[in-house]
Amino acid sequence: MNRLPAPFGSRIDRSRRIRFTFEGKPFEGHEGDSIASALAASGQWVLSRSFKYHRPRGILSMTGADANALVQLPFEPNAAAERTPISDGLRVSAQNVNGSLERDRDAIMDMFGRFLPVGFYYRTFMGPRRDSWLKFWEPMIRRKAGLGVVDTKAPARHFDKTHLHCDVLVVGAGPAGLSAAITAAEAGADVVLCEENPEIGGALSYGRYDPAVLSGLSSRLAALPNLKVLTATVCNGWYEDNWLPLIQGNRLHRTRAREVILATGAIEQPAVFRNNDLPGIMLGGAAQRLIRHYGVRPGDSAVVLAAHDDGYRTALDLLDAGLSVVELVDPRPAGEAGPLEAELRDNGIAIRKGATVEAAEGTPGNRHLARVRVGGSWIACDLLAVSIGSAPAWQLPCQAGGKVGYDAATQTMTITLPQGPVHLAGAVAGTDEIKDAIADGQRAATAALSRLGHAVAVERPVTPKTIRPRYVQSIVADPKGRDFVDFDEDLQVKDLQNATKDGYREIELVKRFTTIGMGPSQGRHSALATARIVAEATGRTIGEIGITTARPPVGPETLGVLAGHHEVLERRTALHARHLALNAAMKPVGAWWRPYYYGDASSAEEAVREEILAVREGVGLLDVSTLGKLEIRGPDAGEFLDRLYTMAHASQPVGRVRYCLMLNEMGSVVDDGVAYRMAQDQFYVTATTGAVARVYADMLFWNAEWRLKVDVLNLTGAFSGLNVTGPKARQVLEALECDIDFSRDAFPYLSGRDGTVAGVPVRVMRIGFTGELSYELHCPSSLAPALWDAVMATGKPHGLRPYGLEASRILRLEKGHILIGQDTDAITTPDELGFGWAVSKKKPFFVGKRSIEMRARLGQTRTLVGLQFPAGARNIPGESCLVLRNGAPVGQITSVGYSPSLGHHIALAYVHVDDQAEGSSVTVKCRNGELVEAPVVAHAFFDPTNARQEI
């Protein structure tokens, strides 16, 4: 066991043991262990096989960013072993292996590397045939080179979303972030501090620093009720106007911050040399995290490659953890002499300056580091801690508009942000030491506070006292390769050099050709080395090369987090419970639930037929509450409708109901309904269920320009509608307690009346979608159930029957009445519908007038007509089936159905304009490809003279 005694292991609870398996073998860890730390404690260093060459890989950074530390969980692929906690019974397996992690059959790929040159895909998989990529290569590569496997039968997990608002959001709870959050909160601002690790502190939680610094910041933080700390929370992007997604487990905090302080720290960079990917070679920060967070000894015998104070601190930590440190190698010619160096020498550690690690060799099968070569001589060791410098965590700053530069003095990347509501603090802004980071956090906070209107003295950015190189990356290219620049994608120095030789000189092209930086770590450990190699190969500076564009998300995110907790939005009419009580088959129509028919599914056809016959011979009742209902009031109401609709409404008498047809500016039919003039300055207008939201918006849009004196009210939800229809409709209504005269002469067709029916205030319109005597009763939705009950009870002796949507569709089809959207499309004109009667020739203007006149001059090509299929016809075309003329399509079927009143199938269809005359015959291509002939008939199949609706 590699477990160290307390106080090492701040995250683990040694009193609680947890058992889990990895690759089928049992392992044990402590509560708080990550998968990687528990495995390392048991000596299991290999976590996966690499992408291309199937080389054993293990811990690199302990930050969870790398592909090599991704593992498969039963219900989750690509889990970060370095971050995912272990749990009892968890079954973990390795990814990207053929066979097992120990015996990977594809490990032989490592021998054939020269057959996998850079751009291999582009060079090889183009042939031999045009579809070879899709048919052969792509499936094969997907099997070979996939990451984890998605279990489509995984149980559902609950995800949710919350909204968070704050004055200041601080991302990163390292020294700079803590100090920024505390400064802002102490000034009274409402602050959220977001940290991806389970604890605050950042480098202070695992680095070799005075514990008093962190405990001092922690106690100040704890005293601030206006400072909300979100740990284990990833800020995964920056979007316009400071909108940031904070992901905390299965919860997404959609956060709007007035000011944002990015204290995202720096990313430690690996060194490049032959076999730099062996398990046992890790970043200094990874070794420190293993020791302090998990109490895991990262090896027995260590070499430290250090070009930075942090490397010296790592070496001292390794000594404290009981490792023997064979040598510290510092590539700087005159390393920073100081107390750290003296302390190391006091411990008898050999320090070699001006040298670097040139190569490494592994144990058989490259399963672990065995020795490293420094200055030509080999040193045996099982740990190489690499601490040669870092790069600012550029992802969030660059999304927020930051520009990347390169500072030759410190040999590191710099980021500058424009003046605005986003600020950088700490290592991401270029500070090197803890005290500078803390001061820089305060400065960033005062800058944010000043923008928020607090009276604070804004300080200038901290200038470090000593400017020294902070990123001395040794790149030792090896003629035999395996000097990895990008561990995710198995890319080596020569791959990048070859890409530039092939002419891909710009960094974005290099990325796309080589796939560098495309893996899970997104260039965190490769972007700087890439810039340096490309700069050298093309004779330019690192600043000129730059890095590729950073886009959200910063890290991987599960689709569940994005989707959140989802409720299907649905609307129910006020009569929903009545329909259910009557055993209605409810169906969704858009957002609405409507009765399709009343009765059991087994007798659906029979139910529809009976409902139709009830309307044709007796009386039926339909819930039409989903209709759009708009009230237009004001002195200009008539003029307003005149401009919006094609018919004349300004001249419409009070008490009359008129059809209304709406066009768009292109002259296409977009909606229809009826307008009931209730008073000189008041219209009640219906719109189709699906279009009312748009019609309501369009009305106000037009009037924003016209500025007529009208007010538009959307009553769609507030009012319900009941259609009482059939030859006996009048008898039923007259039997109800009411103050409206329903007689034929007092209440003629196409008129409207207000009054009270069964104690319910109603607006009644006599219209006829079914072609029968019909009254549409509209009332406040809260009273609709009472009205429904009264109509049902009174109608019972007359055989009244509620009917559903399917019967309604057939009834209107029998009359040839169109449904907007079903029988019209984006280019339908009134002429094509035979609706010339509905278009005013006298009005000087209405929306679409200019365009239909122009389109009429272009010539009409199609007309909507009725088609009739003989009784017992074997082959009936479906909706959307093509109408052919001389073999070429000229139109299509828009509605089709069986008419029980007529005893055969009928349809509406667009046919060629020359075939529109009654008696013509057209050819329709059925779903099965057969052609059938159908005669053109009058629009109204049933009661063509419309006598029945006027009785």
CB 188 to other proteins: min, Å: 22
Question: Which residue's entry shows tokens 């590729």?
Answer: 548
Q: DSSP string of 115-150?
A: GS-TTHHHHHTT-SSTTHIIIIIHHHHHHHH-----
CB 236 to other proteins: min, Å: 14
- In eight-state DSSP terms, residue 174 is S
CB 700 to other proteins: min, Å: 5
CB 702 to other proteins: min, Å: 9
> Which of 122, 706 has the CB closer to other proteins?
706
Residue 19, beta-bridge partner list: 28
Distance in angstroms (rounded) separating the CA atoms of residues 526 and 501: 20
> Which of 586, 856 has the CB closer to other proteins?
856
Task: At 580, give phi and psi (nearest 5°).
Answer: -65, -40
> Which of 564, 755 has the CB closer to other proteins?
564
> Which of 456, 856 has the CB closer to other proteins?
856
> Which of 630, 765 has the CB closer to other proteins?
630
Determine whether 249 is exposed, middle or buried from the number of CB atoms within 10 Å of its CB (0-12, 13-18, 19+): exposed
Distance in angstroms (rounded) separating the CA atoms of residues 167 and 839: 58
> Which of 256, 885 has the CB closer to other proteins?
256
> Which of 75, 701 has the CB closer to other proteins?
701
Residue 372, beta-bridge partner list: 360, 379
CB 240 to other proteins: min, Å: 4
CB 239 to other proteins: min, Å: 6
SS (H, E, C) 845-913: CCCCHHHHHHHHHHCCCEEEEEEECCCCCCCCCCCCCEEEECCEEEEEEEEEEEECCCCEEEEEEEEEH
Amino acid at 676: Y
CB 705 to other proteins: min, Å: 7
CB 166 to other proteins: min, Å: 15
> Which of 99, 401 has the CB closer to other proteins?
401
Task: At 346, give phi and psi (nearest 5°).
Answer: -60, -30
77 close to 388: Cβ distance less than 8 angstroms = no
Q: DSSP string of 719-766?
A: EEEEEEESTTHHHHHHHSSBSS--STTTS-TTBEEEEEETTEEEEEE-
CB 419 to other proteins: min, Å: 14
250 close to 160: Cβ distance less than 8 angstroms = yes
CB 665 to other proteins: min, Å: 6
The three-class DSSP label of residue 580 is helix
CB 781 to other proteins: min, Å: 20
Which residues have C-beta within 8 Å of that of residue 24, sequence separation ≥ 6?
Answer: 93
By CB under 8 A, name the binding residues for other proteins. Answer: 239-241, 243, 254, 256, 665-666, 696-697, 700-701, 704-705, 707, 714, 844-845, 849-851, 854, 857
CB 15 to other proteins: min, Å: 46
> Which of 337, 858 has the CB closer to other proteins?
858
Using alpha carbons, select from 184, 187, 185, 181 the residue that is nearest to residue 201: 181
> Which of 601, 858 has the CB closer to other proteins?
858
Structural element, H or E, at residue 384: strand 383-387
> Which of 381, 400 has the CB closer to other proteins?
400
Distance in angstroms (rounded) separating the CA atoms of residues 696 and 714: 7
The three-class DSSP label of residue 616 is helix
CB 286 to other proteins: min, Å: 36
Tokens of 949: 């609706």
- Peptide bond preceding 128 in cis form (omega within 30 of 0): yes
Distance in angstroms (rounded) separating the CA atoms of residues 525 and 547: 12
> Which of 420, 889 has the CB closer to other proteins?
420
304 close to 317: Cβ distance less than 8 angstroms = no
End-to-end CA distance of the chain: 97
C-alpha triplet 541, 546, 551: angle, nearest 5°: 180
Which residues have C-beta within 8 Å of that of residue 315, sequence separation ≥ 6?
Answer: 302, 304, 306, 325, 328, 344, 349, 385
> Which of 854, 871 has the CB closer to other proteins?
854
Amino acid at 377: S
Task: At 833, give phi and psi (nearest 5°).
Answer: -90, -5
CB 701 to other proteins: min, Å: 5
SS (H, E, C) 324-348: EEEEEEECCCCCCCCHHHHHHHHCC
Distance in angstroms (rounded) separating the CA atoms of residues 68 and 60: 8
Using alpha carbons, select from 298, 265, 232, 285 the residue that is nearest to residue 11: 232
CB 704 to other proteins: min, Å: 4
CB 238 to other proteins: min, Å: 11
Using alpha carbons, select from 267, 290, 324 the residue that is nearest to residue 207: 290
> Which of 114, 857 has the CB closer to other proteins?
857
Distance in angstroms (rounded) separating the CA atoms of residues 430 and 391: 9
Radius of gyration of the chain from its Cα atoms, rounded to whole angstroms: 38
> Which of 149, 854 has the CB closer to other proteins?
854
Distance in angstroms (rounded) separating the CA atoms of residues 527 and 489: 13
CB 854 to other proteins: min, Å: 5
CB 714 to other proteins: min, Å: 8
> Which of 840, 920 has the CB closer to other proteins?
840
> Which of 69, 695 has the CB closer to other proteins?
695
54 close to 104: Cβ distance less than 8 angstroms = yes
> Which of 345, 850 has the CB closer to other proteins?
850
872 close to 844: Cβ distance less than 8 angstroms = no
